[in-house]
Amino acid sequence: MDRAIRAFLDVLAVQQGASPQTIRAYASDLAQFQAFAQDARKRRGPLIPESIEPALIREFLAARDRKGEKKSSLARKLACLRSFFRYLVRVGRLEANPAEDVRAPKLPKHLPRVLTKDDAGALMEFPGGQERDSLRNRAILETLYSTGARVSELVGMNCDDISRSEGVVRVRGKGQKERIIPLGSIALDAIAAYHAQAPNVREPSSRRSSDTAAVFRNSRGGRLTTRTIARIVAKYSRRLTGGTIHPHTLRHSFATHLLDEGADLRAIQEMLGHVSLSTTQKYTHLATDQLLSLYDRTHPRAVSTTETNEVIKQKGSR
């Protein structure tokens, strides 16, 4: 089992180009399942993939559920196990995938949080001043909102990926798949201002040569991490909301605001790098909710959803 897991993780990293975060999450999930399976077998010799049955996977998920683990985490663990055993089938180690028919936990449907256009504009203005870090942080916020890029894609952006003349940037998404996204003039100007104030952004880093190409770097010349980007967004969002938002909120806001302005859903799918259109369609629900809310607030003959439900209840009680 140890060798099979190591081989699978190597394939994810080398052949499929999975992110370090994905590798760590899958390694953790597989180690957790391996420990559970070994304990369930009462330590009868080394655990081998051929001994895993669907019932054991269901027991593992049920045990994690009893410990209070979130449904989303359980779904991720099942997806990890399906991927692992699918790999073993592909290389001829197993004849069938024992996780394939295990039912995934039903996830509650939550619409992603989205900033209003005014709030998004205000957030961009918070990193004031002409200091290097302020200019960099504003460029980060502008780029996230302008492109809808994932935070991992932002971290991986290199200076040569940006074409100012064409107003686009090349990003590397999941599985190292490349796509071209429009990059607005305000974001381009913010990046240019940052680089003008930090000319050493192109100088060699003492840590890794790959850092020399990074668009966004720390004070030591190293490429920023996803965690640092999250802290930067949280820092300024606290001024806006009193709470914190995640960089992904800017991605959701990017898509929803484009849809509000009449952008084609297929075009948004391309810019976000979604494989399936159904993933992008959640933004139509956000736009509809906002439209109904606007209607309720502004139309003189509108009846709010709450009022409508009360009317229905009253009629039903009669």
Q: Tell me, yes or no, if 252 is annotated catalytic.
A: no
Tokens 């051929």 locate to 50
**Catalytic residue of the set 223, 251, 252, 257:** 251
| Catalytic residue status for 274 | yes
- Residue 98: both structure tokens together: 């024992």
DSSP one-letter string for 154-181: HHT-BGGGEETTTTEEEEE-GGG-EEEE
Is 315 catalytic? The answer is no
Indicate which residue of 26, 194, 236, 283 is catalytic.
283
The DSSP secondary-structure symbol of 130 reads S
Catalytic site residue from 58, 179, 248, 282? 248
Report d(CA 197, CA 136) in Å as an integer.
9
Tell me whether residue 194 is one of the annotated catalytic residues: no
Rounded Cα distance between 30 and 34, Å, is 6
How far apart CA 18 and CA 175 sit, in angstroms, is 5
Of the residues 174, 179, 195, 282, which is catalytic?
Answer: 174
- Active-site annotation holder among 82, 136, 150, 223: 150
Active site residue 3: no
Per the structure block, which two tokens stand in for 173? 């998404």
**Is residue 30 within 8 Å of 80, Cβ to Cβ?**
yes
174 is catalytic: yes
Backbone angles phi, psi at 182, to 5 degrees: -60, 140
- The residues carrying an active-site annotation are 150, 174, 248, 251, 274, 283
